[in-house]
Structure 1
Amino acid sequence: MGGDRRPRGVRAPARALAPPRRWVRYDGAPEDFLVGVALALPALATLDGPARWAVGALVVVSGGTPSGGGCSSTPASAPSRPSPSRCSRSSPRR
């Protein structure tokens, strides 16, 4: 249905040196954190007292955990019989 008359499976030629569609790929990407740090630096330089601590705390919190909420694999020192965790409740049981 469109004006493109290429046979199925034939892609359009790539544009040379196409500009990026977005500066930050997705929410939580490493560059997302770097943008946050870059925007926080002027505030950290100019503010003092509780405001500076608040900005610093927000930068630390925005770093977060890369595992997405702490649902990671079981450590090697865990008991052999798995105990129920908050992560296993969301998966369907068979």
Structure 2
Amino acid sequence: MRKLSALTAATAASLLLAACGSADDASTEATADSVEMPADSALEPVDEAPVADPSATATDAPEAVAPATADQASEAAADVADKALAAAAEGEEETPAQ
């Protein structure tokens, strides 16, 4: 019964929102002139030249991180698997019998 009342309320709310919409003429298509201004007219009042930012450089590269060896990767994977099994076993102990 709750699901039916929730569904009825959701349907009524969606119909109410649809009824609040405007009935303007939607047949006119959007054109580039009516949607946004062209870039040239947007930049007309700007007379200044661009200035380089001295703190930003294209040569800044992140420090290299040493790649993990296959042994380190397998040990890490085994640790994660052990923790997952322990967590699963712990979850089974806490789950009440049904």
TM tier relative to shorter chain: under 0.3
TM normalised by structure 2 equals 0.24
Higher RCO (CA-CA < 8 Å; seq separation 6+):
1
| Greater helix fraction, Structure 1 or Structure 2 | 2
TM normalised by structure 1 equals 0.25
